[in-house]
Structure formats: structure tokens, C-alpha cells
């Protein structure tokens, strides 16, 4: 092969390899999936009002027990399917974990009608103008965040959570931080 032919072949091979690499990176992930950037970082503090009593709830006062934050709205159909899963988990594991619902972009009347007033299973919090949701990087509902007893955000589920995933995530919350917190969804 001539020197010129060798250069052309090499250049084509490099361009093809780069293109394949870029395409593999692009097709290998869901373009709509928003990365969870806060994993392993302290959960942003918040003070929200309870839907039932109006009493303030402050995250920094809750350390010592793992926390589950479930963002939902009455207008969100998947939230309706998911709500019984969170309710059951709160009833069953409420002694070991603190469960909170966070009402996202909804009216209090609609939220009360959805969750019941008071919701006997777990407290619902009102996030005025979704300030706290943006602090947590919420992209829609339902989303569920898992905070360990030290106040570190350990995981997030951005789809209607099922009982198995809920149990896996709860179990991982009690494990030391590390690879165990990355339980498969």
C-alpha cells in the first residue's frame, strides 16, 4: 500500500472510531433522563407546612432516623397508582423511617381530597411555589428521595415506586454509604 493510501485509511479509521464512540455514548443513555447530581450530598434543608395541622416541619430537626420524601400531585395519574405503595410502606416501616409526602404544584383542596385530611399514614407537606422541589432537582412527579439518618441524600426514584424497589431502597438506607446505596432500580 502506498504512503498516501495508508494515511487516507488511517484518517478514515480515526474518524469512524470517533463517530462510533460519540454515537455509542449518545445511544447508550436515555436523553430525557435527568442525572441525580445530589447523591451522597447533604439534603438541602427545608421548612415546610403540614397539610393537616399547618405546623412547620424542618429537615434539620429530623436527623437521627432515615427519611423518605415522596413528591406527588393530585393531577398526576401515576401518583394515584403509587400512593398505596408509599402508604403501606409508611404504615409498616413508620417506626424505623420517617415518611413525608410533598405536594407538588397543586392546590391544598385538591391535595386534601387526594390524601385525606388528615392522612393517617404519613404527613403531607405543602411546598409553596415548588421552591424546595427545585432545590432537590425534582423534574416531575412522582419522585421519591431517600435521606439517611445523617441527612445525606442517598438515592432517588423518578418513576412510580413499586413495593420491591421501596423495600430495596429502605434496606439500602440502613447500610453504610457506598456502593450499597446504588441498589438497582
Binding site for another protein (CB under 8 A): 11, 15, 18, 22, 25, 34-35, 37-38, 73-75, 77, 105-107, 110, 129-131, 133-140
> Which CB sits closer to another protein, 138 or 166?
138
Contacts of 114 (CB under 8 A, 6+ apart): 72, 74, 79, 80, 83, 106
Q: How far is the CB of 37 from another protein (least distance, A)?
A: 5
> Which CB sits closer to another protein, 52 or 130?
130
> Which CB sits closer to another protein, 90 or 111?
111
- Short-list 165, 158, 124, CA closest to 38: 158
Q: DSSP string covering 109-169, please?
A: HHHHHHH-SS-SSS-EEE-GGGHHHHHHT--SSSEEEEE-TTSBEEEEE-SPPPHHHHHHH
Q: How far is the CB of 83 from another protein (least distance, A)?
A: 15
Give the SS3 label for residue 43: coil
> Which CB sits closer to another protein, 28 or 176?
28
Give the SS3 label for residue 112: helix
- Sequence length of the chain is 185
> Which CB sits closer to another protein, 105 or 162?
105
Q: How far is the CB of 80 from another protein (least distance, A)?
A: 10
**DSSP class of residue 121?**
S
The C-alpha atoms of residue 125 and residue 103 are separated, in whole angstroms, by 6
> Which CB sits closer to another protein, 130 or 168?
130
Q: How far is the CB of 78 from another protein (least distance, A)?
A: 11
The C-alpha atoms of residue 135 and residue 44 are separated, in whole angstroms, by 7
Q: How far is the CB of 130 from another protein (least distance, A)?
A: 4
Q: How far is the CB of 92 from another protein (least distance, A)?
A: 30
Amino acid at each position: 500500500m502506498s504512503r498516501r493510501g495508508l494515511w487516507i485509511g488511517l484518517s478514515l479509521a480515526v474518524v469512524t472510531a470517533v463517530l462510533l464512540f460519540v454515537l455509542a455514548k449518545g445511544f447508550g443513555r436515555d436523553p430525557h433522563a435527568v442525572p441525580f447530581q445530589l447523591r451522597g450530598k447533604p439534603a438541602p434543608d427545608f421548612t415546610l407546612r403540614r397539610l393537616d395541622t399547618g405546623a412547620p416541619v424542618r429537615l434539620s430537626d429530623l436527623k437521627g432516623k432515615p427519611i423518605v420524601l415522596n413528591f406527588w400531585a393530585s393531577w398526576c395519574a401515576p401518583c394515584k397508582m403509587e400512593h398505596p405503595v408509599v402508604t403501606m410502606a409508611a404504615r409498616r416501616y413508620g417506626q424505623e423511617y420517617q415518611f413525608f409526602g410533598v405536594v407538588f404544584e397543586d392546590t391544598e383542596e385538591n391535595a386534601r381530597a387526594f390524601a385525606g385530611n388528615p392522612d393517617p399514614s404519613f404527613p403531607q407537606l405543602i411546598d409553596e411555589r415548588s421552591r424546595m422541589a427545585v432545590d432537590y432537582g425534582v423534574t416531575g412527579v412522582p419522585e421519591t428521595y431517600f435521606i439517611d439518618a445523617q441527612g445525606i441524600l442517598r438515592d432517588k426514584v423518578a418513576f412510580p415506586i413499586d413495593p420491591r424497589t421501596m423495600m430495596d431502597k429502605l434496606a439500602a438506607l440502613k447500610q453504610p454509604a457506598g456502593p450499597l446505596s446504588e441498589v438497582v432500580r
